[in-house]
Amino acid sequence: MNRLKTKKIAFILLIILLTAVVCFHLCIMVKLIPYNIAWGGRLENDLQMYIFETISILLNIILISALFLKNRIINHQLSDRVLNSILWFFISIFSLNTIGNLFAKTNFEKFFAILTLVFALLIWVIVKRNKGSDTNV
């Protein structure tokens, strides 16, 4: 499979997965899902839950936006260097989160180590350069 197609598949998978994650966090905020299964089981009250869930949703929306910008779905004037830096930041966050999820209190949260690792790898596929080319998806 050529690199351009691989990057396109990575982009589509990320958008689908990130949308599902945002929906998951919204379900926690409206209490359809108990918050004690998220954030390593460390949240102690509703206020903490609302703060952490809001931050998580905003970060996911920023990542989705960066992916749309990187793939020129949204017209912009940002350089690839800036967008790649943002995406490398998210690779770092998801890599650290993978480690954190492995030490979570709940098995449900430990399962998310797989998801965060997949996120880091998919973003890496998108930002890695093709030899002799700077082609986007």
Q: Does some domain include residue 34?
A: yes
Q: What was the pLDDT predicted at 81? A: 93
Q: Does some domain include residue 53?
A: yes
Phi, psi of 130 (to 5 degrees): -80, 145
User: Rounded to whole angstroms, how far apart are CA atoms 66 and 29?
Assistant: 24
Q: Does some domain include residue 135?
A: no
Q: Does some domain include residue 119?
A: yes
Q: Does some domain include residue 136?
A: no
Cβ-based burial of 5 (10 A; exposed 0-12, middle 13-18, buried ≥19): exposed
Residues of the chain where predicted confidence (pLDDT) is lower than 70:
1, 130-137
Single-letter code of the amino acid located at 33: I
pTM of the model: 0.86
Range of the domain at 76: 3-127
Indicate the number of domains in the chain: 1
Q: Does some domain include residue 132?
A: no
Mean pLDDT taken over the chain:
89
Q: What was the pLDDT predicted at 130? A: 56
